[in-house]
Amino acid sequence: MDWPVGILLASSVVEVLLAAVAIFLYLRLRQSEALIRTLQERQSEFMEKLAWNTRLEQELVASFAERQEELARLDAQLTQTATHLRRLLQEAERYTKSPEFLRHIIVSGRRRGQSPQALAQSTGLTVDEVELILESEGR
């Protein structure tokens, strides 16, 4: 073989090797591009989910604030109702302990046929006090 044919053959082998390397690099580049595209899509999905989570969190915080305000309002109403009920209870206790009310209970109980002992027990008075009230009403 002569030199020019050897050089031509060697340069052809080098060109084939360079073409093979170029094809290999091109295929790797395509794989990298596909990987980058996949990563970009996943990043977009992640950003959408992150935005959705942010909106959800804001809604939860707003809802929590509304519930807190509602609870405060309900607490104020409950306190007001409790105060009103305490006042009513005190008035009822004063009324039930009034002599006129006790006299009315004893007289109406006697009309229904209750004994002085039963009337004393239900009113919290002694039997003597019940009998005294009954005698004063009988006059």
Dist. CA 118–CA 134, nearest whole Å: 13
Reported pTM = 0.46
How much is the pLDDT for 111?
87
CB under 8 Å to 127, separation ≥6 — which residues? 116, 117, 120
For residues 105 and 95, give the distance between their C-alpha atoms in angstroms, rounded to a whole number: 12
pLDDT digits (tens, 9 = 90+) for 11-60: 999 999 999 999 999 999 999 999 999 999 999 999 999 999 999 999 99
